[in-house]
Amino acid sequence: MSLLHSLHGSDYLPMLIPRQERMFIDEVMELVELSPLRDALVGLPGVSGLSTEQRKRLTIAVELVANPSIIFMDEPTSGLDARAAAIVMRAIRNTVDTGRTVVCTIHQPSIDIFESFDELFLMKRGGEEIYVGPLGRHSCELIRYFEATEDVRKIKDGYNPSTWMLEVTSATQEQMTGINFSQVYKNSELYRRNKNLIKELSTPPEGSSDLSFPTQYSQTFLTQSFACLWKQSLSYWRNPPYTAVKYFYTTVIALLFGTMFWGIGKKRHNQQDLFNAMGSMYSSVLFMGVQNSASVQPVVAVERTVFYRERAAHMYSPLPYALGQAIELPYIFVQSLIYGVLVYAMIGFEWTAVKFFWYLFFMYFTLAYFTFYGMMSVGLTPNYNVASVASTAFYALWNLFSGFITPRTRIPIWWRWYYWLSPIAWTLNGLVTSQFGDVTEKFDNGVRVSDFVESYFGYHHDFLWVVAVVVVSFALLFAFLFGLSIKLFNFQKR
């Protein structure tokens, strides 16, 4: 997504926002000095797009568009060089000058960064307060406070006040001088003034009511879902390598399988011809499905980091985000159409509207449940590498109990239950049954094709609709588990 779309939430939503509010977004971009980059792509951290300090300023801008009165920042200058840190601090200073309160955590800042702040809340190990008050010009108030304490060495000219402050209040210095800076603060006039101020501000005016909000999120569920869906559509549209590689791979596999199994859909001389046709279906499901699952995992893993931050900011709930992943469905449909038309024609399956529909139907929802399974595996695991290993284990089990290597009628009874849990088994059932389950022609040995399909594989043409419902259910199940996983699990280490 571009920087501007990150602030708007989507490319279409600004059309629903009043002109005055759109102008406010432009003002925010001016505030954090990002207007020249309004159309730049955000990209991936350390790979492409915005630099580190530009990303930090974008993060500030994303929070500012909600027009908050107070903003909390955790080490906004960490990982930046002096120039980049100065740019970020200038953006923060501009934010403060608009009348907002900005609270930052910061460790060992430079002189310029330290003196950009108005007030300081200093704590020692254990969370005890040492100093809470104004810094003053060139940190004069802070220096005056600590130098007034007996046995505290004076600051040298040109020395960083923050470094000096940390040195004189360290645990080692407290032991050497016998000074408890926490107790010194509690006995100071500054402490008493702060306590009185807290007491005054903590007393609500007469006639006021408790602050409350009718809902947890500022937008309705429908608006959240629409925004997430449109955001995902932009993300996919501006990630052509992901889609292009998928379609290229689909075309190559379709041509490969089509030429390898050329014309076998018309051959019905013996049972081996049927096994060959089923082998083409089995291979296509396994190759295409695993590829879809594996290719979507790194995409979801990268976007999950953004989701953690935006969920923490209460921009939207997990369910609308999960529903936004439905943007995959039209891309999967095109993929199924490319593969289905090429393979169906080259293999030579029977050209009837019903049979062709069923072939596309089962390929579409098979690719869909593999894609959602890949998303689910990322949602249930801490990172992409673990998700890849965990999902591969189930591919092997699904393959083993697919009904192709060993048909259901020949699987030992104590393992047959897993056959019903294998999505690939249901897909093969649907593909084979829709193509051959109603064929009344006979093999050379006199056995009717439909009878062999029923007796050997256990596939019944009358249950084709049941099989279709189950295959769709697998896609819905994996999509639901993905939404549930991102709602219940948070693998962010902070």
297 band by pLDDT with thresholds 50, 70 and 90:
very high
For 387, counting Cβ atoms within 10 Å of its Cβ (0-12 exposed, 13-18 middle, 19+ buried), the class is buried
* DSSP label of 137: G
Q: Quick one: tokens of 109?
A: 């800042």
11 band by pLDDT with thresholds 50, 70 and 90:
very low
With a pLDDT cut of 90, the percent of the chain lying above it is 41
* H-helix segments, 97-204: 111-114, 140-147, 161-168, 171-177, 181-186, 189-202
Closest to 452 (Cα-Cα) out of 269, 183, 250:
269
Per-residue pLDDT at 42? 74
Q: Does domain 3-200 bear CATH number 1.10.357? A: no
- The model's pLDDT over 118-136, given as tens digits with 9 standing for 90+, comes to 999 999 888 899 999 999 9
How many whole angstroms separate alpha carbon 435 and alpha carbon 357? 11
Q: Quick one: tokens of 298?
A: 């790194």
Better pLDDT: 491 or 213: 491
How much is the mean pLDDT over the chain? 87
Helix (H, G, I), strand (E, B) or coil at 101: strand
Per-residue pLDDT at 112? 87
* pLDDT higher than 60, residue 10: no
* pLDDT higher than 80, residue 47: no
13 band by pLDDT with thresholds 50, 70 and 90:
very low
Per-residue pLDDT at 88? 85
How many whole angstroms separate alpha carbon 323 and alpha carbon 321? 5
Per-residue pLDDT at 494? 57
* pLDDT higher than 60, residue 199: yes
Q: So where are the chain's domains?
A: 3-200, 221-488
Per-residue pLDDT at 464? 93
Per-residue pLDDT at 218? 75
Do residues 319 and 379 make contact, with C-beta atoms less than 8 angstroms apart? no
Closest to 287 (Cα-Cα) out of 325, 248, 254:
254
Range with top average pLDDT, 47-51, 413-417, 421-425: 421-425
2 band by pLDDT with thresholds 50, 70 and 90:
low
* pLDDT higher than 90, residue 74: no
Summarize the confidence of residues 134-162 as an average pLDDT: 90
* pLDDT higher than 90, residue 341: yes
| Position 77, amino acid | T
Better pLDDT: 61 or 72: 72
The DSSP H or E segment spanning 124 is strand 119-124
Per-residue pLDDT at 16? 45
Torsion of CA 73, 74, 76, 80, to 10 degrees: -170
Better pLDDT: 436 or 268: 436
Summarize the confidence of residues 265-292 as an average pLDDT: 88
102 band by pLDDT with thresholds 50, 70 and 90:
very high
How many whole angstroms separate alpha carbon 117 and alpha carbon 199? 24
Per-residue pLDDT at 63? 79
Per-residue pLDDT at 18? 60
With a pLDDT cut of 70, the percent of the chain lying above it is 94
Do residues 35 and 93 make contact, with C-beta atoms less than 8 angstroms apart? no
362 CB neighbour count, 10 Å cutoff: 29
Do residues 72 and 41 make contact, with C-beta atoms less than 8 angstroms apart? no
* pLDDT higher than 60, residue 105: yes
Per-residue pLDDT at 361? 96
Query: Minimum mean pLDDT among 3-12, 146-155, 355-364, 374-383: which range?
Result: 3-12
Per-residue pLDDT at 411? 85
CA atoms within 13 A on the CB side of 331: 22
For 405, counting Cβ atoms within 10 Å of its Cβ (0-12 exposed, 13-18 middle, 19+ buried), the class is exposed
- The model's pLDDT over 459-471, given as tens digits with 9 standing for 90+, comes to 999 999 999 999 9
Summarize the confidence of residues 215-220 as an average pLDDT: 78
